[in-house]
Amino acid sequence: MEFHPPDTDRTAAARWLVEEFDWLGDRPLVVMHPGGGRNPAGTNLDKRWPAERFARLGNYLMRAVGARIALVGTAEERPLAAQVAGMISLSATERAAANRAGKIGLGELGALCELAALYVGNDVGSTYVAAATGCPTLAVYGPTDPAVSAPYMVNGRVATLWQPYEGAFSWAKGATVEMAAAAAEALLVPQASPRA
């Protein structure tokens, strides 16, 4: 499966990155989607990796590789993305994370992912879009086994994090920040700079 966003969305994403986020491709761009993963029927547990873990991973990537973080999601997830952005450290000269949740559609998400060095998200539709653009994708799974539902990728790389469990699922025994940092670094190594 491949996803190619329309040129209008590519232009809009590039304009935002350069004019508002002051990103010129000189540092790794990391797209994070901390939302999604809620089953409306209420028959499954929350599939969202905890917000503080997204923030800790973002802080780690900023220090380790100088990453800039773009948070994405739906309008309803904007407060969650703002919470994560608020926990990500600010540098003295620039904002390290920007909250784009509710401000872009799937086309612009795909365009951001085409330029990004890494995407990190839950078991949610945007993760599949990121993988379909060829963006190195880190998918974090909780109660759902990725062997059944991991993104399929033709021209890229996907890493999934999941901890097998017995009984009731709890994030206390789920994927850790340390696991995510190691997986993110492995995905970033071949990417010396973002793709054009």
- CATH 1.10.1200.10 given to domain 7-188: no
Higher pLDDT, 8 or 43: 8
Residue 115 binned pLDDT confidence (cut-offs 50, 70, 90): very high
Query: Any idea where the domains of the chain sit in the sequence?
Result: 7-188
- Strands 137-140 and 97-99, by their bridges, are unpaired
pTM for the predicted model, two decimal places: 0.91
Residue 43 has pLDDT above 80, yes or no: no
Per-residue pLDDT reduced to its tens digit, 130-151: 999 999 999 999 988 888 878 8
Mean pLDDT across 56-74: 95
CB 68 within 8 A of CB 96: yes
Can you give the pLDDT at residue 193? Answer: 46
Q: What is the pLDDT of residue 186?
A: 94
